[in-house]
Amino acid sequence: MKQDFPIFSREVNGRPLVYLDNAATTQKPSCVIDAMSNYYSSSNANVHRAVHTLAGEATEGYEECRKLLKKRFNSDFAVITSGTTEAINLAARAWGEYNLQPGDAVVLTEMEHHSDIVPWQMLAERIAIELRFVPVENGELDMNALDVALEGAKLVCVVHTSNVLGIRNPIEQIISKSKLVGARILIDAAQAVPHEEIDFKGLGADFLAFSAHKMCGPTGIGALLISEHAFSEMKPFMGGGDMIETVTLEGSTYQSNEHKFEAGTPRIAEGFGWAAALEWISKIDLESHHKRLLQIARDVSEQLTAKGMTVYSSLNPGDAAVVSFTHPTIHPEDFARLLDAQGIAVRTGHHCAQPLMEKLGVNGTIRASFYLYNDDSDAEIFLSGIDRVLEAMA
Amino acid sequence: MTWPASIQQIIDEFQEIDDQFERLEVLMDFSTEVDELPVESWNESNLVRGCQSIAHIEIEIRENEVWLKAAADAKMVQGLQGILSLAVNGSSPESVLQLTPEFAEEAGILVSLTPSRSNGFRTMFDMVQDRIREAIK
């Protein structure tokens, strides 16, 4: 598969690139790069307004992305955003601000990415909602504590798959429990959509947020899928062009569809690129790749443990192929730079999940995350790289 | 660019190394050049902010000479502090203020000096100059 990805023809520090930072962003196949380049070289125009040919092509290409999203994820509404972060902020502003009252409870978890904590903290500052955090015990959500937190809750926001640990939460169970108390449900699916097929309507959540760039699409574009009920409860929060129906000096009316949440010129080239990525990924058997990658991650985890590392990922069935680990004495930053010197890209730090790091009792971890194009040889090079680091630091 | 002899020597040493891994090993060797700031002296005022690792730097000016005390939990960051120490220790405050951090790029120690979470060198360099300015004003 690597031949589909031009970046793998380059070297890093004189070595072939071994890219294991996929939970941060994935590489892009040629079809995505070509789609964006072709848009700019052949169809560049603004969308939704002009009647000329280029505008028609641009609109069609951009809206094709939305069509593919709705089809792939089985959703009636797909608002295109700049990514997961903006998608969650949109839910907080356009739904939260109009449907939550002071004192209303919003349930979050200690496993959330900062993107699913800070928007709710900001909302709490504005309308004094109560934030309840479900604790993490032994790397997993405490489901008994969830039951307590759900009492009287109006909204539940939960990460589907942890970006730090790769753990897939029992999302179906969380949704059914949340529904029993009548809460709306937002799922942060940034790390889930790259690894498994998601049926939004089948899941029964109200919001699903994710980004294109973690599934071989471009950066700067993502989506918020919204249930019919939740969509009817939302109001636009960002005003401007493209989201209006009529504007007079006395007031404005808004579009009735997703466009009312997409003020201004959208990310047109990125829409073309994401559409290409969605078509490319639709031909991939995600389930069998996921099993293969999980096995690679388990083998790597076992070897790292044998080499004296502490591995925080459980790598249970359904988890993402993410191995988060620390060494007893070598600082993650030193580790990552010495791996980079060998052409191996991994991530270090708190992974935008400081509350979870605090719970794990570490300042940061080293994270190797595997994706579709990674194979056994990447794992072998990574483990040899680890050996060289251990030797140098002995 | 012309650098003071102490810095030129560091640049030359790094430029002789082709392999990035070896370059980083040499960088870590520089960690021993630091006059270590004891852990009990680590505090908010000498904390290097924006660094991925925990790093502290203190500046002392004695008889018109700058002296640096520093420490970090990551060996490479302490190596960068060691290089900073060699670059500034014993120099006058005015000559340290004339320095620019580009020597780290020229030596190939860092790919980029853009301030970011992954690059504390620029932050540490700026902190040293800021503290000198505060001390001599």
Tell me: the pLDDT tens digits for A75-92? 999 999 999 999 999 999
Q: Mind telling me how many Å the CA of A380 is from chain B's nearest CA?
A: 18
| Residues of chain B found within 8 Å of residue A338, distances taken between Cβ atoms | 21, 24
How far is C-alpha A103 from the geometric centre of its chain's CA atoms?
Answer: 29
Sheet architecture: strand order including A207-211: A77-81, A222-226, A207-211, A184-188, A153-159, A105-109, A130-134
Answer with the residue of higher pLDDT: A213 or B6. A213
Can you name the residues that pair with B116 across neighbouring β-strands?
A: B119
CB atoms within 10 A of CB A151: 10
pLDDT of residue B57: 95
A304-308, B6-10, B45-49, range with greatest mean pLDDT = A304-308
pLDDT of residue B116 exceeding 70, the answer is no
pLDDT of residue B117 exceeding 70, the answer is no
Q: How far apart are CA A250 and CA A273, in angstroms?
A: 39
B112 pLDDT band, cuts 50/70/90, is low
Of A341, A349, A393, the CB nearest to B52: A349
Q: Where are the domains of chain A?
A: 2-20+286-393, 31-282
DSSP A114: G
Check CB contact under 8 Å for B20 and A341: yes
pLDDT of residue B20 exceeding 90, the answer is no
Tell how strand A244-247 and strand A252-254 pair up.
antiparallel
**Closest CA relative to residue A62, chosen from A268, A276, A277:** A268
Tell how strand A105-109 and strand A18-19 pair up.
unpaired
Reply yes or no on domain A31-282 having CATH 3.40.640.10: yes
What is the phi/psi pair of residue A185, to 5°?
-130, 125
| Residues of chain A found within 8 Å of residue B78, distances taken between Cβ atoms | none
Q: How far apart are CA B118 and CA A345, in angstroms?
A: 13
Could you read off the pLDDT of B22-38 as tens digits, one per residue?
A: 989 999 999 999 999 99
Put simply, whether B76 touches A (Cβ < 8 Å) is yes
Which residues touch B88 (CB under 8 Å, ≥6 apart)?
Answer: B66, B68, B96, B99, B128
Under 8 Å between Cβ of A347 and A367: yes
Q: Mind telling me how many Å the CA of B23 is from chain A's nearest CA?
A: 9
| Residues of chain B found within 8 Å of residue A340, distances taken between Cβ atoms | 20
Put simply, whether B28 touches A (Cβ < 8 Å) is yes
Q: Mind telling me how many Å the CA of B87 is from chain A's nearest CA?
A: 22
Of A331, A338, A393, the CB nearest to B53: A331
What is the domain class of A2-20+286-393 according to CATH? alpha beta
Whole-angstrom CA distances from A319 to A168, A309, A378 are 5, 20, 20
Check CB contact under 8 Å for B28 and A333: no
- Structural domains present in chain B: 5-136 (3.90.1010.10)
Catalytically active residues of A are 352
Transcribe chain B into DSSP letters: ----HHHHHHHHHHHT---HHHHHHHHHHGGGGS-BPPGGG--GGGB-TT-SS-EEEEEEEETTEEEEEEEESSHHHHHHHHHHHHHHTTS-HHHHHH--TTHHHHTTS-S----BTTBHHHHHHHHHHHHHHHHH-
R_g over Cα of chain B: 14
| CA closest to A388 among chain B residues | B21
| Residues of chain A found within 8 Å of residue B24, distances taken between Cβ atoms | 337-338, 341
B114 pLDDT band, cuts 50/70/90, is low
Tell how strand A18-19 and strand A15-16 pair up.
unpaired
A366: left (phi over 0), alpha (psi -120 to 50) or beta: beta
Check CB contact under 8 Å for B52 and A364: yes
Nearest 5°: the CA angle A218, A221, A226 is: 135
Instruction: Judge residue A251's burial from the number of C-beta atoms within 10 Å of its C-beta, 0-12 exposed, 13-18 middle, 19 or more buried.
Output: exposed
pTM of the complete model = 0.90
DSSP A92: I
Which residues touch A198 (CB under 8 Å, ≥6 apart)?
Answer: A73, A189, A192, A208
pLDDT of residue B42 exceeding 80, the answer is yes
Q: How far apart are CA A269 and CA A39, in angstroms?
A: 6
| Residues of chain B found within 8 Å of residue A334, distances taken between Cβ atoms | 28, 74-76
Chain A contacts to B (CB-CB under 8 A): 13-14, 331, 333-334, 337-338, 340-342, 348-349, 363-364, 388, 392-393
Under 8 Å between Cβ of B127 and B48: yes
B94 pLDDT band, cuts 50/70/90, is very high
**Axis crossing angle, helix A376-393 with helix A332-340, rounded to the nearest 10:** 120
Regions in chain A scoring below 50 on pLDDT: none
Q: Mind telling me how many Å the CA of A75 is from chain B's nearest CA?
A: 38
Q: Which amino acid is at A98?
A: Y
